[in-house]
Amino acid sequence: MRRNGEIIIIEDDEDDRNFLKDIFDSLGYPNKIVFIEDPTLAIPYLLKPQTNPFLILSDINMPKIDGFELRSQILAHDGISQKCVPYIFLSTSKNPENVTKAYNYNVQGYFTKEENFPTYKLMIQNIMEYWRTSLTPLSAH
């Protein structure tokens, strides 16, 4: 995990992508933000040798494959899972079954999307600051 690596946002909804773009722009982190709107394109992107993300934020309810299936596919690829990239779900659902299911896929967080810009911005900032200071097996060397 590189602290200045890419932030991968897997989100099919254009409004949600734009909202997150505005939030990250306002926070001013140096990380490149990469939006992937088609979840089936996430694995090929993450498998590229030059891709070294800092963080993955993923929606759950998406067409073609949902976030759970995508997470399962990512866990099956050693080339991706060995990069020790925190994987966090951002969802509109507060359904306890979804939260439990998410943690069964070894995610590092489950957060609900906020409609209020300052609240959502603070949540994203807290996520970023936590992972910027957290050690992973790759960052401890």
pTM of the complete model: 0.93
Give the chain's domains with CATH numbers.
Answer: 7-133 (3.40.50.2300)
pLDDT in tens, 92-137: 999 999 999 999 999 999 999 999 999 999 999 999 999 999 877 6
Q: What tokens appear for 30 in the block?
A: 């140096």
For every residue of 92-111, DSSP letters joined together read S---HHHHHHHHHTT-SEEE
Whether 88 contacts 57, CB under 8 Å: yes
Closest CA relative to residue 85, chosen from 71, 98, 99: 71
d(CA 120, CA 112) in angstroms, rounded, equals 9
Q: Is 135 left (phi over 0), alpha (psi -120 to 50) or beta?
A: beta
